[in-house]
Amino acid sequence: MTTGKGIFITGTNTAVGKTVVTRGVARLLTNKGVDVAAIKPVESGVDQVEHSDAFAICRAAGRGHSPASVTAYSFRTPVSPHLAAAIENRHIDEDIVVSFLKGWLSQAEVVLAEGAGGLLVPLNSRITYADAIAQTRYTLLIVAPDILGTINATLLTIEAARARGIAVAGVVLNRATSSDRFGNREAISCFGRVPILGTVPELDAEDDLLADKLEGNLDLERFFSLLLS
């Protein structure tokens, strides 16, 4: 049985670019011959499958997985998963989410799992997503927008992860300015003791273009050594 490397892609908030980065990394690794699966264990706000994150990241990974197969829980209501489940008279079982994350590790060399919102979103009335990740061997990749306020939000995310024993692989700054205008790169790497693995500029969102752009903006050497560690 293969045991793949699991990377959990979280963000400092919702809508910060987790899907864009997941798609770009998935396509980039696929182009380099790595066997990648991209999954979205819990998704809310799914009005049509074609608009879902699961659909977008599956397509980028190019393995032919169906969106349904890469998702354990999908909700129509566009709110936090715990609330979406309650509104739709359902319940998220954390053991199912943990088993789902673990199970995919035997399916590919690299598993990219996109979170929902930020790290501490509740899955139900008892636990947050972070508590579920802590029960797996996934390491964390944090996507953060390169804006004012990101130092604090990113350092809080790093602390919350480490407090639960989750390893933090690094941070990708999204929609990055060419200069470190807000001091995000320097302060996050210094105070957070994490590498800035990439700075993704404002870009057009086609999958192939995304991979090319990411290749030029990701610290590939560091990224691949992370995958091998």
Ligand X SMILES: Nc1ncnc2c1ncn2[C@@H]1O[C@H](COP(=O)(O)OP(=O)(O)OP(=O)(O)O)[C@@H](O)[C@H]1O
Q: Indicate which residues carry an active-site annotation.
A: 40
Give CA–CA dist 136/138, Å, rounded.
Answer: 6
Q: Which of residues 38-77 bind Mg ion (CB under 5 A)?
A: 53
Q: Which of residues 144-163 bind ligand X (CB under 6 A)?
A: none
To the nearest whole angstrom, how small is the minimum distance from the Cβ of residue 116 to ligand X? 6
170 counts as binding ligand X under rule CB under 6 A: no
Per DSSP, the three-state class of 153 is: helix
Give CA–CA dist 11/178, Å, rounded.
Answer: 21
Q: What angle do CA 154, 158, 164 make, to 5 degrees?
A: 150
- Name beta bridge partners: 196: 171
Give CA–CA dist 108/111, Å, rounded.
Answer: 6
Q: What is the CA radius of gyration of the chain?
A: 16
18 counts as binding ligand X under rule CB under 6 A: yes
19 counts as binding Mg ion under rule CB under 5 A: yes
Binding segment for ligand X (CB under 6 A), chosen from 18-26, 148-156, 179-187, 218-226, is 18-26
Binding segment for ligand X (CB under 6 A), chosen from 17-25, 124-132, 159-167, 179-187, is 17-25
Identified binder of ligand X from the candidate list 25, 38, 53, 110, rule CB under 6 A: 53
Identified binder of ligand X from the candidate list 87, 205, 208, 225, rule CB under 6 A: 205
Give CA–CA dist 94/91, Å, rounded.
Answer: 9
Identified binder of Mg ion from the candidate list 18, 59, 185, 213, rule CB under 5 A: 18
The residue whose two tokens read 């129509």 is: 76
Identified binder of ligand X from the candidate list 4, 6, 117, 170, rule CB under 6 A: 117
The distance in angstroms from the start CA to the end CA of the chain is 19
- Footprint on this chain of ligand X (rule: CB under 6 A): 11, 14-20, 53, 117, 174-175, 200, 202-203, 205
- Footprint on this chain of Mg ion (rule: CB under 5 A): 18-19, 53
